[in-house]
Structure 1
Amino acid sequence: MARRPNRFTDEDFESLDGRASKTEQKKAVQRMAALGEQLAELPKKQIEALPVEERLIEALLDVQLISSFEARRRQFQRIGKLLRNEDETVILSYLTPKQGMKKTAQLQRWVDRIIAQGDPVINEFTKMHNAAERHTLRQHLLRIQRDVTKAAPPEELEASKLKLFNYVQQVALISDNSK
């Protein structure tokens, strides 16, 4: 096997910037499966009204008919994979009425504090919400800080903040459900 004549450059690593690792992808599927469990608890009419792919609606309706634990677990994994192709904001908008406006405002304050203060607030948030991962929160924060230092367009910065808010909201939904 021939040796690579040149060492890796910064450009090699910049091309990977923003890409999720395999572990992060797996954890995202687990979060989506947990959200899928909450979606499956919605009434049948609300599930049918979801603005998502037909396959996802069918999977959510099918899971209500499954009684075997292992079969339900596999079905929720499938739902998690199908949810990856959907817009998180839309999915969360159907679940946030369960949280209420007060909780949503509280989560927005968490996001603002995370952006302003960084690691101490991230540590505090992860203690309060058992489904939260420090690494993922830090990645979102670093992406926002990078957008600010590069003077990225406002739309890009808002998109990064929305991704952080969506993650925080997912974690809160999952943590509240597991208590």
Structure 2
Amino acid sequence: MTNEEDFEQLDPADQDEEWVSKSQVKREMNALQDLGKKLVALNKDQLAKVPLDETLREAIDECRRLKKGEAIRRQLQYIGRLMRLADSDAISQTLDSFEAGKQAHDAHFHRLERWRDRLINGTPSDLTDYVAAFPGADVQHLRQLVRNAQKEAQQQKPPASARKLFKYLRELAEEPG
């Protein structure tokens, strides 16, 4: 009997199964282990929002408790094995939503930093532009903060007034309106 005849004698359902290489299996296991690392890095509030079974949650808590590198590596491998049984798609989607929220927060923070820098280093028209964008701003207070920050920058002092200006800009941006 040849190999071709052996193949034909197999059950047709077995022939339809997709063959996966050992390398592909390892890549998938490493991806699950990396997902487990991300779970371990989350804070408690974020982790509470992730759909996990109790065994996986306990394994993550145990990994957080460990201090030695080798023990952490073994625990992460265990978490990777538990991830095979978990709904990794739902977990990934939850982690992606956390990342999207963080990116939006960072972008908002950077916009405020750019406004602060424009107000300190720019022209008086930048102040007018800011007041037009945020009509709830106290113009007199804003001018004072900008003047103090500019004076500190000229004297090469620590940027305490620039921090106060940024804090004020952040408060204005967070006001409902």
Report 1 or 2 for greater relative contact order, CA contacts < 8 Å, sequence distance ≥ 6: 1
